[in-house]
Structure 1
């Protein structure tokens, strides 16, 4: 089989927030589709065969740490003749070109802003269906990371344009770190070492309005040594921070880690050039009946001997959680650690 040629940068799939605004082409329309939607353009035989199965296996992998299974992406399939008008402006696109007369190596080429602003498109080109299957088998998860990162980029760009700038300024004054917040966010507590940021709204469903609560706890702690980043130590530390700073609606209630159903998933990450860990799992309300998904980042600022601890949670029992958790994640991923003086 011909060797695979990849034309997308590994840097793009790193978990870095890169503003899309600099690459926007003003004459293009805005992207369409809801958060997490991905359209796959290929023939019906391809979609109904092993290639389509491989797409489903990669891009519909459940998001870890949600109370009910939700896929990484909501997939939409169409064929090339039907790929026009609103489909062309879809936010995330995989466009498949299978040409049996093709003599060159199979390609996976990534492009931004092809038919719409802030759009991400992967062009897959091959002469045989088995080559397309190989592309997805070997590179599909990197493509998934790229699409997920682009979703965060869009939220970051939106928050930078429409977010609560006064809150970001207040956080920088108190803690020394810049963060881009979402519209309608408000501060509950703010001190020189801790910030509790919340977003409260309602959304209709079944003829009734239902609560959607999102929150972020930001703490700055002294760094002593790497043992603080051991799995057991960091979970104990996070639980103590939540108990002290995230009280619930009734007396004696507070947010804590739910260990019973989904074990915390802890991974080391590169957070914009700084060592960190990401934690995904569920939370529950001690002495109350509430719970939902949670994501945390613990980041090492070696220059200032600080640990930046971020924990974001979502409470929306009537709705899917994936996109609400992504909104929280985009705010946390926007934290900027100042360069050394």
Structure 2
């Protein structure tokens, strides 16, 4: 009996060690944020299947001044998908096969990693599978990139506590972001970039300000413009301030940030009476802890420069939101 127990224990230990070893040998994943490796036969890529992939995974990002794709795509045929090529963080593997498969798997070749597999017996079945599963796959890849971006913040973390101490709000962001304006219940945080600035503003509104009816687009624009006039001036504060650009209809979605009900708005801002503009992402958040409405916004000024990755970093920062009881002393 003792021998049996020893053998069982030894077997468990060996299995456990093998399992740990299999996890340990996975290399670190690589790749820039918002990039996607697409593994697919060249003939499929250059035909209708490739067109379908591009229609979804290289679709324009909402709320930018010109078209930029959801992902920068790197395509490769299966025969070169070996060794280092398998270490990409996000991989879409599409193949013509006897079976029909659509699945997303974690850490297949590297860690952390998301690999989406789509297989079909014909080009038509592949196209249908891409149509049916692309939204879920894109959402998975984007959440994965947001998490990776947030993890990278920790390499050089901003340790300022003013937001937490005065508004009961915590945001995780790199140390290059600095508070440039503070006024009662309003904070403006800025990061210098080569051709401009990345900005975050945080402020509170009354509880009943959370827009819920069919006029919420107008309410959000009115709120943004009033805050811009009060706190985000141009060169001449009497005649210039940040407003919502009327030429671009904003995109509005119901959202959720770390369990808090929110409204997400993406659009374009401009400075009234001045040639200055850029994209913004805004979250209006229900704050039951402090019985108020909380507003978080990221906006970028970077003329003649692609802005997708700047706005993605701002979104990643805003989605680290944590709320605690505000200090009323």
Q: Does TM, scored on the shorter chain, surpass 0.5?
A: yes
- Measured against aligned partners, the alpha-carbon deviations of 1:4-38 in whole angstroms (never above 9, x if no partner) come to xxxxxxxxxxxxxxxxxxxxx66543333322111
**Structure 2: unaligned runs, 5 residues or longer:** 1-22
Equivalent residue, structure 2, for 1:99: 97
Would you say the 8 A contact 1:32–1:86 is kept in 2? Answer: no
Pairing partner for 2:176 from 171, 184, 187: 184
Is 1:212 the equivalent of 2:196? yes
Is 1:255 the equivalent of 2:242? yes
Would you say the 8 A contact 1:111–1:120 is kept in 2? Answer: yes
CA distance in 2, matches of 1:227, 1:141: 27
CA distance in 2, matches of 1:327, 1:304: 27
More moved, 144-153 vs 327-336: 144-153
Would you say the 8 A contact 1:213–1:315 is kept in 2? Answer: yes
Instruction: Go from structure 1 to structure 2 and tell me whether the alpha carbon gap of 1:170 and 1:42 turns closer, same or farther (over 3 Å shift).
Output: same
Equivalent residue, structure 2, for 1:80: 78
Equivalent residue, structure 1, for 2:185: 193
**TM-score, with structure 1 as normaliser:** 0.82
Is 1:268 the equivalent of 2:254? yes
Pairing partner for 2:157 from 163, 173, 193: 163
CA distance in 1, matches of 2:262, 2:64: 22
Structure 2 residue matching 1:224: 3-state secondary structure: helix
Structure 1 residue matching 2:208: 3-state secondary structure: coil
Would you say the 8 A contact 1:96–1:123 is kept in 2? Answer: yes
Instruction: Go from structure 1 to structure 2 and tell me whether the alpha carbon gap of 1:227 and 1:314 turns closer, same or farther (over 3 Å shift).
Output: closer
Structure 1 residue matching 2:322: 3-state secondary structure: coil
**TM-score, with structure 2 as normaliser:** 0.84
Would you say the 8 A contact 1:108–1:125 is kept in 2? Answer: yes
Structure 2 residue matching 1:237: 3-state secondary structure: helix
CA distance in 2, matches of 1:327, 1:235: 23
Equivalent residue, structure 2, for 1:281: 267
CA distance in 2, matches of 1:153, 1:249: 37
CA distance in 1, matches of 2:24, 2:147: 18
Pairing partner for 1:51 from 25, 45, 49: 49
- Measured against aligned partners, the alpha-carbon deviations of 1:172-205 in whole angstroms (never above 9, x if no partner) come to 1111021101231100123441111100022xxx
State how 1:4-153 maps to structure 2 within 5 Å: 27-100=25-98, 102=99, 106-153=100-147
CA distance in 2, matches of 1:216, 1:310: 7
Structure 2 residue matching 1:40: 3-state secondary structure: strand
Equivalent residue, structure 2, for 1:205: none
Would you say the 8 A contact 2:208–2:293 is kept in 1? Answer: no
CA distance in 2, matches of 1:86, 1:250: 54
Query: Between Structure 1 and Structure 2, whose CA radius of gyration is higher?
Result: 2
CA distance in 2, matches of 1:170, 1:153: 25
**Structure 1: unaligned runs, 5 residues or longer:** 1-24, 203-210
Instruction: Go from structure 1 to structure 2 and tell me whether the alpha carbon gap of 1:249 and 1:200 turns closer, same or farther (over 3 Å shift).
Output: farther
- Computed over aligned residues only, the root mean square deviation of the Cα atoms, in angstroms, reads 2.1
CA distance in 1, matches of 2:315, 2:80: 35
Deviation at 1:144, TM superposition (A): 1.3
State how 1:324-335 maps to structure 2 within 5 Å: 324-335=310-321
- Measured against aligned partners, the alpha-carbon deviations of 1:303-337 in whole angstroms (never above 9, x if no partner) come to 42211101111111132110011111111111113
Pairing partner for 1:221 from 205, 220, 225: 205
